[in-house]
Structure 1
Amino acid sequence: MNWGTKLMIGMGCFMTMIIVYAVLMMRSDSDALVDTDYYEKGINYNLDYRKKSHVNMDRAEPTIVLRNDSLVVTFKRESTGQMKMIRTADKKLDQQFEINTDQGNTFAIPVGSQKTGLWKVQLDWTSMGRPYLYEKEIMLP
């Protein structure tokens, strides 16, 4: 076998590999990096930016702590709103909770049954008539 034959076999294997990867990519059902509602998020970007700036201006950043099998969020004042737990690796595991703080301005959810790994916590709440938005990444053990 001479070098020309080996070169053609190598090129054939490389092209076959590229075709197989292209077919596998076309068959994949979902892509975790693409939002389905990107248009709405783009339109509401200014509103979200304003809510995030309220957190900084009012120094209203909540404290997020893992205690036992619970995720405890402590706010500066009485709050109501929504909390999203977003799993960056698998959108099917995302969850949403209603926030209603107790007497100590805390809100807790059980996370013992959640998958371990990196989660993004998104808090969208209203306190004393002012809207806030806060995001933080946490690692569940």
Structure 2
Amino acid sequence: MKINWGTGIVIAFGLFMTFILYFVFEVQSNSKYDNDLVVEEYYKHDSHFQDEMARIQNAHDLKNKPSIIYTAEGLKIAFPNTFENEKIKGNVLLYRPSNKKFDFDTEIALTNNELLIPQKKLIKGRWDVHMEWQCNGTKYLSKEVIYVN
């Protein structure tokens, strides 16, 4: 049986659509592929956006900002000496964009104006560090990206 070029094009389109539908079905039904949102309650999070921007601006306006440095011991967050250890309250969220199972939250408890997150808690790759803290009634928020080797 001889197939003309019109029939060949229709068969090619049919095979291509079947191929695409197979992959769409595979990704949606297989639990290996994670399709979660970045934030669980997206719209609730979005409603507090202006407050978040004000806290980011407060952190940006500081003359002496806290530093976030990755060292061999782990992630070191150092606050300037202008801040008093007892007056700083807040937490540090380490967010792993590739897998939310590795995300964790740590309360800020300073020793000599430093907080150390041990190396054993961090796996290799990219981490988004969101640090929210409050000192003397002013709220701050800083966001940085670090890479763990």
**Category of TM-score, reference length = shorter chain:** 0.7 to 0.9
Match of 1:38 in 2: 42
Within 5 Å, which residues of 2 pair with 1:1-141? 1-2=2-3, 3-27=5-29, 30-76=34-80, 77=83, 78=85, 79-103=88-112, 105-141=113-149
Name the amino acid aligned to 1:56.
Answer: H
Could you tell me the percent identity over the aligned residues?
Answer: 25
**Which letter does structure 2 place at the counterpart of 1:81?**
G
Name the CA distance, whole Å, in 2 between partners of 1:46 and 1:28.
38
* Cα distance in 2 for residues equivalent to 1:34 and 1:125: 22
Deviation of the 1:41 alpha carbon? 1.1
Structure 2 Cα separation of the partners of residues 60 and 48 of structure 1 = 20
Which stretches in structure 2 are left out of the alignment for 5+ residues? none
Specify the code of the residue in structure 1 equivalent to 2:43. Y
CA distance in 2, matches of 1:9, 1:115: 48
Q: Which runs of 4+ in 1 moved over 6 A?
A: none
Cα 1:34–1:96 shift into 2, 3 Å: closer
Q: 1:16-75: CA deviations, max 9, x gaps? A: 112112312432554255422112211211111111111122234211112213110011
The structure with more strand, counted as a fraction of residues: 1
